[in-house]
A and B are shown apart, each in its own frame.
Chain A
Amino acid sequence: MPAATWYEKHDLSSTDMHPFVHSFNPAIAPPWEARTDFDYFSDLAAEFSRLAERHLGVRKDVVAVPLGHDTPDECAQPGGRALDWQAGEVEAIPGRTMPRIVVVERDYPRLAERWRALGPLIDELGATTKGVPLPIGSEVGYLRSHNGTIRDGIAQGRPRIDRDDLFCEAILALSGTTNGRLAVAGFEALERRTGVVLADLAHERAGDRITFADTVTQPRSVICSPEWSGTESERRRYAPFTINVERLKPWHTLTGRQHFFLDHEWMAELGEMLPIYRPPLDLIATFGSQQAPAARDAQLVARFLTPHSKWSIHSEYQDNLHMLNLFRGGPVIWMNHLDAASIGVEDNDWIEAFNRNGVTVARAAVTHRVPAGTVLMYHAVDRHLQMPIAERSGLHGGTDNSLTRVVMKPTHLIGGYAQLSYGFNYYGPTGSQRDEVAVIRRRSQEVRF
């Protein structure tokens, strides 16, 4: 299903890199068979619900929920001792020595109906970001009158969010960064919790309400809100953590301060209680040089790095006809000229890079800009253009990621201990796969596609 791009649909964009909220607006309708992702979700939900009537019905799922940051769960492991209930070291208590166990009712046949409306739970629970409750009140009524209401079914009378622009309107109404009333209310809640004066940060824009129509006219400067950590005003541009530093709001850590000392026992075990330098993993020692033992050709074993490309996002902005004509027309691996000479490679030669994970074929971009012993293959180009069949696999060559594999660090699995607790998209197990070793060799210059 081809999805519309951001010049073909309504959406919002806002990041912590700049203090503005932008809208996406369709310059043209999605071409050919493309539809917006919002439309796809909507259609899929409807069809799924129709099928669920017969196949799934209403079910209850048992879900293990990680011990969350900014919740009482983050006090679950006092002293940073991670006792294992499976080994009998401690009693298994959900929410303390193991994840919370939650029963969730899934009303599959009504998924589409629910998806179309702002549900009732927001009335009683409000919205919470980083442990700060935003008391939602008049906003629901505002959305009712602005977006209209659902006329029938379980969502009857609730505000509609069944169109992309209406959904955007709901997001803007329910965030302190675009709704001054909520920003002030959120800071007041934070004042009660922390004992420091904060609400004045949002007072200058207490009455502001940024609507979707406003963002269509031009990007709008956001309102200073407890959802972020920086101050933002006429006099001050957003910078992270200025509320913590200048207004003494406690940090979301074990001590409420910035601290570099982590006393979790796993940190102690790995010798990382204080920040230290760790060299890249010696993957050759771990996995061997990976050279083909009876290779006839000269081979180079090098660090294989896959950094993000220059001024593009993956294939976007680089794999178009203009930009392909403005470089080499397909994937390249950058390598130092001394490395290249050692295996008889000249600039623009076809080479293969392989290791225990996979193989890729590319042109060599030979340069003195890259140090010897390291090759670079930018992440991640189109794999359907100028991608010949690899000699090693007999298949169409892979990409930069054919040679990489996630290597997880044990300390990233620490949970339930203050700032070392799970936060969606913020903290959790992460993989490091951008530092590999690969064998490079010059391949036959006859290529097939």
Chain B
Amino acid sequence: MRPMAQVCMVMNLDKCIGCHTCSVTCKQTWTNRPGTEYVYFNNVETKPGLGYPARYEDQERWKGGWTLDRKGRLRLRAGSRLRKLLTIFYNPDLPTIEDFHDPFTYDYARLITAPPGTKSPSVSARSALTGRELNPRWGANWEDDLAGAPQRARSDPNIATMSERVLMDFESVFLFYLPRICEHCLNPSCVASCPSGALYKRSEDGIVLVDQDRCRGWRFCVSGCPYKKVYFNHRTGKAEKCTLCFPRIEAGLPTICSETCVGRLRYLGIVLYDADAVTAAAATPDPRDLYEAQLSVFLDPEDTAVQSAAEQAGIPHDWVVAARRSPVYALIARHKVALPLHPEFRTMPMVWYIPPLSPVADATAAAGYDAADPDAVFATIDALRIPLQYLANLFTAGDVAPVRDALRRLAVVRSVMRATQLGLEHRNDAAEELQMSTADVEDLFRLLAIARYEDRYVIPPAHAEDAGRLLAQHALSGCTLESEGAPGMGGKGPSTGGGPVSGRDLAGRLHLRLVAEPTGRDQ
């Protein structure tokens, strides 16, 4: 066992109202500058829909993430280092600006300088890249609230693989919002794809970052990331990505997207995991078993053996205490209501989602049943193949069982708490069937419904006394994950001896410069 700590996020999709506050505050904080106009470290997609960039989930097309070779070993889907070398000046798997969008602005000055007598002057969109007049045809949130869905949403990769025909009509409409940031994966394919060793996963908290000094702009991280959450800054010629707001995380504060979330749907906390088990878990043969495999990598912070192993591995005591209080670990492992996004990409993503019950509850109510009656909701969950299979394609590589159980647990919490509040009789058989104790239901209710700021964000601050050592070590070592046998390399199985017990000694905390100095040609 080689315990490591990771800051991990869970988002409760039932609470997302699609207001895009997270996208806007993230953009204001991190990517509101020339070169990153089209970059959204955080974006919110309406599902069903193609997402951003269009159809990023289709790895047949983009070749992101990992796959297994004939011997069952992990290989980058984009192919070997040799293929990379051959395509280094033309990477066919790279999305273009058309797949993202041509960002636009307006010639606002014309509104003020229009000659007197102009009746209600109006200006059209202009490309923020070329300055030329632009006819917007696609964008970072083009499909808001199912706009254009009848024409386009069947090409959503999560629908395209479904055997059922998804009806695009008013009577069977369902939608939910999917906010996305970088997954800060345990087995990041972006890190493994980088020819320059510029991407690294910080060993102290698992945040995946781009070293702006090392990045040479080859962009294999962009194509290697199956979530398309590494972006290319066309001004600096360097890759950039979600930093999980590490300066805030180091200070014990939530990310900007979490801090400003109107629906309070985000949770941040520590998950302890066994770094030696990651590669084997990511190489689980059946993609449908990857969810369980990833769960098996997580370590139970209540286990005293784990606690002592963690402290021996250099994880500070207060981090272990925080792991025990972690809302994220509770939602993922204790209550099993949160699920990973596309585990079949085999990157072991660390931003998990509570699937939305509302499409089911809406359908239950539309059918004339009480949406708070667990029997009716359970029957609807099973009858509604379409949202269920769709959610399974997003979260469990198509296996509906974990999604169904998560939705049933959410339904049980609603019905039990409703009955309790109203003083009604309720039966416990549904909870018993799901092996939920009364305390489980109450804990889950507190987490989902009334968790306060300090309950949603349990983030131990970085240890200042380690900062100098971490920073000094960084320059020498780069990232542990690219050394032999580390999860970022994959395919070699767990490392055996020789190395340090934990990555902390070799890890670096780098004060990352996101904005490179402008070159003369930009001035």
B147 within 8 A of A: yes
User: Is A310 a contact partner of B120 (Cβ separation < 8 A)?
Assistant: no
Q: Which residues of A contact B23 (CB under 8 A)?
A: 322, 326
Q: Which residues of A contact B425 (CB under 8 A)?
A: none
A377-425 contacts to B (CB < 8 Å): 383-388, 395-396
Known: A325-B103, A325-B140. A369 touches B121 (CB 8 A): no
B291-306 contacts to A (CB < 8 Å): none
Q: Which residues of B contact A322 (CB under 8 A)?
A: 23-24, 27-28
User: Is B147 a contact partner of A337 (Cβ separation < 8 A)?
Assistant: no
- A384 in complex: contacting residue of B28, B111, B169, B170, CB < 8 Å: B111
Known: A323-B24, A325-B103, A327-B144. A347 touches B175 (CB 8 A): no
B132 within 8 A of A: no
User: Is B147 a contact partner of A347 (Cβ separation < 8 A)?
Assistant: yes
B142 within 8 A of A: yes
User: Is A334 a contact partner of B105 (Cβ separation < 8 A)?
Assistant: no
Q: How far is the CB of B211 from chain A (nearest CB, A)?
A: 28
Known: A327-B144, A329-B104, A367-B145. A347 touches B139 (CB 8 A): no
User: Is B139 a contact partner of A384 (Cβ separation < 8 A)?
Assistant: no
A136 within 8 A of B: no
A145 within 8 A of B: no
Q: Which residues of B contact A384 (CB under 8 A)?
A: 111, 120-123
A177 within 8 A of B: no
Q: How far is the CB of B120 from chain A (nearest CB, A)?
A: 4
Interface size on A, residues (CB 8 A): 37
B309 within 8 A of A: no
A273 within 8 A of B: no
Comparing B55-63, B87-95, B149-157, B492-500, the segment that makes contact with chain A is B149-157
Alpha-carbon gap, A324 to B37, bound state (A): 13
Q: Which residues of A contact B152 (CB under 8 A)?
A: 347
0/1 interface trace, chain A 317-334, chain B, CB 8 Å (1 if under): 000011111111110101
B167, closest chain A residue (CB):
A368
Q: How far is the CB of A273 from chain B (nearest CB, A)?
A: 32
Alpha-carbon gap, A328 to B136, bound state (A): 7
B18 within 8 A of A: yes
User: Is A334 a contact partner of B147 (Cβ separation < 8 A)?
Assistant: yes
Known: A347-B151, A449-B123. A369 touches B175 (CB 8 A): yes
User: Is A388 a contact partner of B104 (Cβ separation < 8 A)?
Assistant: no
User: Is A332 a contact partner of B150 (Cβ separation < 8 A)?
Assistant: no
Q: Which residues of A contact B24 (CB under 8 A)?
A: 322-323, 326
B321 within 8 A of A: no
Q: Which residues of B contact A372 (CB under 8 A)?
A: 170
B140, closest chain A residue (CB):
A326
B419 within 8 A of A: no
Alpha-carbon gap, A348 to B148, bound state (A): 8
Known: A347-B147, A367-B145, A371-B170. A383 touches B122 (CB 8 A): yes
- A368 in complex: contacting residue of B104, B106, B141, B146, CB < 8 Å: B146
User: Is B27 a contact partner of A385 (Cβ separation < 8 A)?
Assistant: no
Alpha-carbon gap, A230 to B101, bound state (A): 51
Q: How far is the CB of A315 from chain B (nearest CB, A)?
A: 13
Q: Which residues of B contact A323 (CB under 8 A)?
A: 20, 24
Q: Which residues of B contact A321 (CB under 8 A)?
A: 105-106
Q: How far is the CB of A307 from chain B (nearest CB, A)?
A: 13
Q: Which residues of A contact B145 (CB under 8 A)?
A: 310, 367, 369
A346 within 8 A of B: yes
User: Is A367 a contact partner of B150 (Cβ separation < 8 A)?
Assistant: yes
User: Is B148 a contact partner of A366 (Cβ separation < 8 A)?
Assistant: yes
B383 within 8 A of A: no
B119 within 8 A of A: yes
- A328 in complex: contacting residue of B103, B147, B175, CB < 8 Å: B147
Alpha-carbon gap, A447 to B28, bound state (A): 32
User: Is B151 a contact partner of A346 (Cβ separation < 8 A)?
Assistant: yes
Alpha-carbon gap, A372 to B20, bound state (A): 28
User: Is A369 a contact partner of B139 (Cβ separation < 8 A)?
Assistant: no
Alpha-carbon gap, A197 to B496, bound state (A): 80
B11-31 contacts to A (CB < 8 Å): 17-20, 23-24, 27-28
B68 within 8 A of A: no
Known: A321-B105, A372-B170. A388 touches B146 (CB 8 A): no
- B20 in complex: contacting residue of A326, A366, A367, A386, CB < 8 Å: A326
A178 within 8 A of B: no
User: Is B104 a contact partner of A325 (Cβ separation < 8 A)?
Assistant: yes
Known: A310-B18, A325-B140. A369 touches B123 (CB 8 A): no
User: Is B148 a contact partner of A367 (Cβ separation < 8 A)?
Assistant: yes
B511 within 8 A of A: no
User: Is B122 a contact partner of A326 (Cβ separation < 8 A)?
Assistant: no
Q: Which residues of B contact A254 (CB under 8 A)?
A: none
- B147 in complex: contacting residue of A325, A365, A396, CB < 8 Å: A365
Q: Which residues of B contact A447 (CB under 8 A)?
A: 124
Alpha-carbon gap, A369 to B145, bound state (A): 8
Q: Which residues of B contact A385 (CB under 8 A)?
A: 106, 122-123, 125
User: Is B141 a contact partner of A327 (Cβ separation < 8 A)?
Assistant: yes
Q: Which residues of A contact B513 (CB under 8 A)?
A: none
Alpha-carbon gap, A325 to B103, bound state (A): 7
Alpha-carbon gap, A334 to B146, bound state (A): 10
Q: Which of B101, B111, B137, B145 neighbours the largest number of chain A CB atoms within 10 Å of its CB?
A: B145
Alpha-carbon gap, A371 to B170, bound state (A): 6
User: Is B122 a contact partner of A337 (Cβ separation < 8 A)?
Assistant: no
0/1 interface trace, chain B 154-172, chain A, CB 8 Å (1 if under): 0000000000000011100
B434 within 8 A of A: no
User: Is B136 a contact partner of A329 (Cβ separation < 8 A)?
Assistant: yes
0/1 interface trace, chain A 427-449, chain B, CB 8 Å (1 if under): 00000000000000000000101
Known A328-B139, A337-B168; further 13 A-B contacts with Cβ < 8 A = A311-B262, A326-B23, A328-B136, A332-B147, A347-B152, A348-B136, A368-B146, A368-B149, A368-B170, A383-B122, A385-B106, A396-B119, A449-B124
Which 6 interchain pairs have the tightest Cβ spacing?
Answer: A337-B150, A347-B148, A365-B147, A311-B19, A387-B122, A326-B141
Q: List 7 A–B pairs whose Cβ atoms lie within 8 Å, in order of A's numbering.
A: A326-B24, A332-B147, A347-B147, A348-B137, A367-B147, A367-B148, A371-B170
